[in-house]
Structure 1
Amino acid sequence: MRISLGCRLDFKFPKSTPIIAMLNVDATHYCDLEQLDFLTTTPCVPIESYKDVFGNWCSRLTAPAGAFRMATQGIFVDHGKKDRFFPAAYQHSVQDLPSDALVFLLGSRYCDTDLLSQESWRLFGETKTGWARVQAICDYVHQQVTFGYEHARATRTASETLTEGRGVCRDFTHLAISFCRCMNIPARYCTGYLSDIGEPEPHTPCDFAAWMEVFLANRWWIFDPRNNQRRIARFLIGRGRDAADVPLTQTFGENTLGNFEVWTEISN
């Protein structure tokens, strides 16, 4: 099926302001590309693109004073299958992990593993290793944390999510990532588009989503502690240690975000 996806973000800037934007679908989806999701701006300004240390595609630009819009719109062909499922995936010993996975065992800005290690081993130390342990972590986070946009807070860490028992998708993801890392399972933060295709109605307004990838059986696998189920039409934008590594927009000055639209829908 053909999936139309994109976003529109309307800002107001009191003065000329540099921006780094991460709004394009990751290159892993380019083989499914029908219409490239170019980043456009109104008014039009020069855009310089580069890859960051995690391989994410970033756009560097400067917004003029006044109203400013950034937008993308692309069409991708999706196979219509749900996230891959492989319950036999085994956990590696730390000494057998590839070197580039080791950074995803460490604590980070929002994944305060030093505060969660003892609780992680208490909760999951007796679970079967590998896929079953990661699923047990996702089940626990999904059950213990209450979702609500009114609970959003940009500074909330994983340990605070556990204590408060509430948050948005990034908080679910940070907590599950932290538990995995405490259990010596590499886990990385992902952000992107997630459709409601195949989900019962009514659908909530579309937004960007967060999930995680864990390293088991020599590859990375998608897990989604917020929804705790495999989904259709998930499109990655960026990966990192946590949300601090993949801000959709990083503005270097005062601004106001007004209109914000995200869509992921079947295209005829």
Structure 2
Amino acid sequence: MRIRFGCEMGYEFAYPTPLIARLTSHPDCRGTLVVPDDLRTDADVPLQAFLDPFGNRCARLVAPAGFLTLTVESLMEEDGARDPVVAQANQHAVEELPPETLPFLVASRYCESDLLSDEAWRLFGDTPAGWARVQAVCDWVHDHIAFGYDYSRVDRTATDALAVGRGVCRDYAHLSVAFCRALNIPTRYCTGYLSFIGEPEPHPPGDFAAWIEVYLGGAWHTFDPRNNAPRQGRILVARGRDAADVPLTHTFGPNRLTLFRVWAEEV
């Protein structure tokens, strides 16, 4: 299967403004790039590529005053399989976890697992440890959060999402991350492109998606509490502790978003 994916993001800046972008595929993405997905701009500015502490591909630049458009457009080849389901994957005792997983056990800015510990154990403490427990978390979050683009709020945390019962995909992910970490399951926040390949129409407009990865049975596994079903055409862009670690664009000054277009489709 070949997937054409990419985005256009336009901004207006009042004055030259530093910017970091995470819009290209992650080095661990399971597909193979047929066409490089390097970031392009419509301004003659130098780009510096680097990897952040979580291994995400980033580009930094100084946006000039005025209008600037960031563009990624590429083609990826992958096997077309849906997200794997490994129902037998076991949960590790904390003392047996690899050291590199431990940062994904603790509370972070948007995922207050410490504050949600009692609630997590009340809701899920009697579920079988391992894959079934994570699935129970995703089922509960999927059923208790109402989705709507109008519900988006950049400062909403996991505890906020639980309280108001609504949000967008990042809120589903944050609440699931917080619950899983409270249950001693290392969990990462992920963002990327997600196609509608194999999904019934009508399809909503293209957008970036958020999901989670949990460490079970000696490996990281994908769960998607927003859609709550294995999907095709998932292209990882970045992962971290929560959305604060992986903003798609991080601008160091005021700006206005003037253009937003995202696509991921089979060709």
Give the TM-score normalised by the residue count of structure 2: 0.99
**CA distances 1:170-224 after superposition (whole Å, capped 9, x unpaired):** 0000000100000000000000000000000000001000000000000000000
**CA distances 1:140-198 after superposition (whole Å, capped 9, x unpaired):** 00000000000000000101101100000000000001000000000000000000000
Q: Secondary structure at the match of 1:82?
A: coil
What amino acid maps onto 2:173 in structure 1? T
Q: Secondary structure at the match of 1:242?
A: coil
Kept in 1, the 8 Å contact 2:8–2:71? The answer is yes
Map 1:35-184; keep pairs closer than 5 Å. Answer: 35-184=35-184
Distance in 1 between the 2:4 and 2:243 partners? 25
What amino acid maps onto 1:100 in structure 2? E
Distance in 1 between the 2:223 and 2:44 partners? 38
Are 2:222 and 1:234 aligned? Answer: no
Q: Secondary structure at the match of 1:109?
A: coil
Structure with greater helix percent? 1
Identity of aligned residues (%): 53
**CA distances 1:52-102 after superposition (whole Å, capped 9, x unpaired):** 111111101001001111000010002111001110000000000000000
**CA distances 1:5-58 after superposition (whole Å, capped 9, x unpaired):** 000011110101100000110112386110011100011210001111111111
Q: Secondary structure at the match of 1:199?
A: coil
What amino acid maps onto 1:37 in structure 2? D
Aligned residue for 1:187? 187
What amino acid maps onto 1:223 in structure 2? F
Distance in 1 between the 2:69 and 2:44 partners? 9
What amino acid maps onto 2:51 in structure 1? K
What amino acid maps onto 1:157 in structure 2? T
What amino acid maps onto 2:256 in structure 1? T
**Displacement after TM superposition at 1:263 (Å):** 0.3
- Greater than 3 Å deviation, 4+ residue runs: none
What amino acid maps onto 2:122 in structure 1? R
What amino acid maps onto 2:166 in structure 1? R
Q: Please, what is the CA RMSD of the aligned residues?
A: 0.8
Aligned residue for 2:5? 5
What amino acid maps onto 2:231 in structure 1? R
Aligned residue for 2:224? 224
Distance in 1 between the 2:259 and 2:82 partners? 31
What amino acid maps onto 2:12 in structure 1? K
Stretches of structure 2 that go unaligned for 5 or more consecutive residues are none
CA gap 1:136/1:30 in 2 versus in 1, 3 angstroms: closer
Kept in 1, the 8 Å contact 2:19–2:62? The answer is yes
Kept in 1, the 8 Å contact 2:6–2:71? The answer is yes
CA gap 1:31/1:118 in 2 versus in 1, 3 angstroms: closer
Distance in 1 between the 2:191 and 2:158 partners? 17
Q: Secondary structure at the match of 2:116?
A: helix
Stretches of structure 1 that go unaligned for 5 or more consecutive residues are none
Distance in 2 between the 1:114 and 1:34 partners? 43
Give the TM-score normalised by the residue count of structure 1: 0.98
CA gap 1:30/1:134 in 2 versus in 1, 3 angstroms: closer
CA gap 1:48/1:103 in 2 versus in 1, 3 angstroms: same
Distance in 2 between the 1:33 and 1:112 partners? 36
